């Protein structure tokens, strides 16, 4: 049997402490338990807002700022901290929805980029660390 690996990040789990169980997101899941998250509805909302702004003759800068604010508001509405983690979670939902009978493995590697204690909490040697790990992290699964 072949499977399709998907690499995501632990950030889709939001800001939580303690043991975080790894379970895939399915359509409609939210971090705060709020009902009603449907990706198609979110896309319609974005398209409608963008059309309204263009019809009003908004500047590109105004459109960019308004759409950014809308994305943050929608992310936080469902419990995610920002649009980055919100869209990553929605990507997992789409994979779950569209995979049909194809087995899928979602891998969420943890990338520790700062220290816990030594030499002091939060210390980071350099910012390239996480970039190199993610750039060269390639996984292939083949189950027979």
Q: Is 136 a catalytic residue?
A: no
Q: How confident is residue 50, by pLDDT bands cut at 50, 70 and 90?
A: very high
Answer yes or no: is pLDDT of 85 > 50.
yes
Among 11, 49, 84, 99, the one annotated catalytic: 84
Q: Is the pLDDT of residue 71 over 90?
A: yes
Task: Report the largest interatomic distance among the alpha carbons of the chain, rounded to a whole angstrom.
Answer: 57
Pairing mode, strands 4-7 and 104-107: parallel
Active site residue 129: no
Backbone CA torsion sign across 118, 123, 125, 127? positive
Distance CA 92, CA 7 (A): 10
Domain residue spans in the chain? 4-136
CB neighbour list of residue 108: distance below 8 Å, 6 or more residues apart:
7, 8, 9, 10, 12, 13, 22
Say what the pLDDT of residue 119 is.
Answer: 74
Helix-helix angle 60-77:83-98, to 10 degrees: 70
Residue with tokens 């998250």: 37
**Which one of the listed residues 11, 88, 99, 129 is annotated catalytic?**
88
Write the CB contacts of 142 (distance below 8 Å, at least 6 apart in sequence): 2, 3
pLDDT-wise least confident of 40-44, 69-73, 119-123: 119-123
């Amino acid at each position: 049997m072949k499977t399709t690996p998907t690499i995501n990040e632990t950030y889709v789990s939001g800001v939580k402490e303690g043991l975080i169980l790894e379970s895939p997101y399915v359509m409609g899941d939210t971090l705060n338990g709020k009902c009603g998250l449907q990706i198609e509805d979110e896309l319609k909302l974005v398209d409608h807002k963008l059309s309204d702004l263009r019809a009003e003759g908004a500047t590109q800068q105004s459109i960019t700022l308004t759409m950014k604010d809308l994305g943050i508001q929608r992310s936080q509405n469902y419990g995610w901290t920002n649009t980055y983690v919100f869209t990553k979670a929605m990507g997992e939902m789409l994979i779950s929805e569209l995979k049909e009978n194809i087995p899928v493995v979602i891998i969420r590697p943890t990338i520790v980029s700062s220290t816990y204690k030594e030499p002091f909490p939060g210390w980071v040697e350099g910012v390239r660390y996480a970039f190199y790990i993610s750039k060269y992290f390639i996984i292939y699964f083949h189950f027979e």
